[in-house]
Structure 1
């Protein structure tokens, strides 16, 4: 391929962003030249139809002209970029220092979290040991305190169902009332009003005579 060092000014007439191709028109002559996205500087903004550009011309494999080494107004020339290259190692060292300084931050956070977890675990074990030692020193009655009031033992029943059914077998109105309320088969409350032996023992309601 033949290459020229002459630069031309022109305008990006058409551009297909999906395919990365377009056509440039030089200011003098008006000829359309094919241009590929690889001809633009890397890392720059995408080409836009209608923007002013400068470029060089080369022949492709088929002998057709195409635009190469495209630059926008104000872009530094490749030679200027190379002359400024000695500063790049310093930039790389500064960048590496920034990367190194940033890489220890996650490690420090992880170490702090690990230390906090271990401290919490140790504190829990210490609390368990202190609690066990304190419980061992307490008197037995302190570990098993008695209730405020002990339940009273059940009093034995004054009367028991022993098969008696009639008023003549009762000794008091209270006993007759117990038998009617608790014992089956009694025959001491003929009117079913809950008051047994009204004539013999319970002259009044629940009388004790």
Structure 2
């Protein structure tokens, strides 16, 4: 006997839900495998008709499920198969001959070799001419002239010279080797 009902609960992750019969009564278990294989996922509130079966544990479940509101998928009629008119000696899997496989490979290798030789011929003069001479700054000459504090310096380089070479300087309060950190040598790239 077919019963009408509505899909009232559905767990899409686990593939099951419950149908509330239209006449009332307890909800009926339904599994995804009983739905038509039409590619449409079950939706809450969907009208269904089904039959009831009892499983081996004595629980009721839906079977022979039909979804009257879903459109029925009509497949186009298939054309009758036409016999092949190819000769019996024709084989689709014929492989090309040895030369038909080797010649394209030789062409590719030749193009790569030519391209590499042109690249190295053109790149060699560029590397020789593109080498830029290093810009050398004349070394600044500082002398230990009795200055000992950061406020007396004019640059980070001068403060570093005094810290390395002059006695009794008071420019490295935390003894990390970087002088005048709050005034001149504030960035790690300061010179």
TM-score, normalised to structure 2's length? Answer: 0.37
| Higher normalized helix content (fraction of residues) | 1
TM-score (norm 1): 0.34
